[in-house]
Amino acid sequence: MMTRMGFDELWIQLIMNCISTISYPVVLNGVPRKAFTPERGLRQGDPLSPFLFLVCSEGLSTLLRLTSEKWVLRWVKASRRSPQITHLLFTDDCVLFGEATEKGQCVNYRKSTMFFSSNTIDTVQSVISNRLGVKRSNNFKKYLGLPNMVGKRRRLAFQHLKDRIKMKIDNWRRKRSFHKNCFTSNSSLHNGMLSITKINILCELKEFGGIGYRNFAKFNLALIAKQGWRLIENLKSLLAQTLKAKYHLNSDFLNSELGNLPSYTWKSIWAVKGLLLTRLCWKVGNGRDIRIEDDIWVPNAEGLHIQQMVKRQNITRLIRSTFSREDAQKILQIPLAHTPHDDFLAWRGESTGEYTVRSGYKLLLHGNFLNDNRYNPIENRKC
């Protein structure tokens, strides 16, 4: 694989020596045993393994793409204008998409299970199950720790995750190694004592006087907002191209609409768009992508861009006459680029300009920002 990718022979030889010369000693009951040399697979746990996996996955992706171009392997599309998807690579799994045959569409009665609504009576369930020859079940099985059937009652479907976490916390509390139980005291002093604390104090950050427990609901929203940030930053990713072609073909993510019959993934990402909008700001470059919205107060200036203002030598009078004194002062303090570059969005919650889950979670703790309202200096200007 490395030869086809153009690596030098000396480099390939060094890499192969690192892989083929490894041996593993075994210690059994404190007694060293004979070492053995692995003959299959890459070195698990070695710092070199992730890079070798990337080389193999890149070669596999190339072969699958060439196979799809020859129509040997059929691809799938989320919508008419979506990119073609032949495969998806995960950490330890690979999903291939292809065209099924008629035989593959036949029902496998051994592996099939039928689920009924709670409103369906038992006699009707039995008749349908016997007529189709498919067994029925009311216990939803799990795959990779998640239920196969979610339905409309999502909170009930994922309740087991919260129950497992609660059970682990209870087990830790019973152990003396847990920091809360490291202090011994007379049990008679606290047996009948009930300690009540507000949830907002428990979930408040330690730097603000709280305990620092995470609010699961808000932390989950901060995690989902990370996916929205990736849609903004990496426009060429497969996910960004697929969602854009299906839900916001003629606009960007920040100006997109929910649309009709949205998927659960798109609905979740779109719901946290308001969180990103509260702290996103444009960094002015050439001014081509920054649009002054709803500028109806300037005659014959509909569709005005920042670029038209950046190119002017004397814009102070225009800015002061268009915006309020406070907004005009902020606009005049924006440094203009000495070298031309594109405009880009930055996150004001971090000094690096990159969105982080920590900054998003901190923002959610101190208010509800799940709306699509944006601050526009034109709306606050003096008439």
pLDDT tens track for 166-210: 888 777 766 665 454 554 445 554 454 445 567 777 788 887 777
Residues 6+ apart with CB under 8 A from 128: 114, 116
Q: Choose the most confident range, by mean pLDDT, from 9-23, 136-150, 204-218, 252-266.
A: 252-266
- Tell me, what amino acid is at 319? I
pLDDT of 271: 92
**What does 167-226 look like in DSSP terms, one character per residue?**
HHHHHHHHSTTSGGGSS---HHHHTT------HHHHSS-GGGTS-----HHHHHHHHHHH
pLDDT of 59: 87
Q: How confident is the model at residue 223 (pLDDT cuts 50, 70, 90)?
A: very high
pLDDT of 301: 36
Residues 6+ apart with CB under 8 A from 10: none
Least confident of 174-178, 298-302, 324-328, 366-370: 298-302
The answer, yes or no, to whether residue 225 has pLDDT greater than 70, is yes
- Which has more confidence, 71 or 192? 71
pLDDT of 80-128, one tens digit each? 889 988 888 887 788 888 777 777 778 888 888 888 887 889 899 999 9
- Which has more confidence, 320 or 65? 65
Token pair of 294 as six digits: 């709803």
Report the share of the chain in percent with pLDDT over 70.
71
The answer, yes or no, to whether residue 130 has pLDDT greater than 50, is yes
pLDDT of 246: 93
Sketch the domain layout of the chain as residue ranges: 2-143, 219-366
Q: How confident is the model at residue 306 (pLDDT cuts 50, 70, 90)?
A: low
pLDDT of 291: 62
pLDDT of 313-333, one tens digit each? 556 777 777 777 777 777 677
The answer, yes or no, to whether residue 310 has pLDDT greater than 60, is no
CA–chain centroid gap for 316, Å, is: 42
